[in-house]
Amino acid sequence: MKSGYKVLWTDHAISELKETIEYLENNWTKKELRIFSAKLDHTIELISKSPEIFPASIEKKDIRKAVVEKHNNLYYRINKNSIEIVSLFSNKRKPTKKKI
């Protein structure tokens, strides 16, 4: 099995990650935050090793959607030698705010 693709985050995805962490720190327990972090790490590891494991987005076929947990989706694209994370979208936001 190959070691995995390099995973890169767009500036937009990093911004959403920061917003998500800030929200979780203010509204969840430390235990819940650790569980979310572990799920996110696991999802990214899965994507890195098997990038086609998650389905293509309905809106954009070159973007794939991974459900991290029921409130957060990770959107990414497969490039030649890397995976580009384009969005970490909170399902509690209005759909019109989704930027993928």
Q: What is the mean pLDDT of residues 27-52?
A: 95
Torsion sign (Cα): 48, 64, 16, 24: negative
Domains of the chain, start order: 6-92 (3.30.2310.20)
Structure confidence by residue, pLDDT tens digits, 53-93: 999 988 888 999 999 998 899 999 999 989 999 999 988 75
Sheet bearing 64-69, strands edge to edge: 6-9, 82-90, 72-78, 64-69
pLDDT band at residue 14 using 50, 70 and 90 as cut-offs: very high
pTM: predicted TM-score of the whole model, two decimal places: 0.85
What pLDDT is attached to residue 3?
66
Give me the DSSP letters along 73-94: EEEEEE-SSEEEEEEEEETTS-
What pLDDT is attached to residue 4?
86
Helix (H, G, I), strand (E, B) or coil at 59: coil
Helix (H, G, I), strand (E, B) or coil at 65: strand
Higher local confidence (pLDDT), 24 or 46? 46
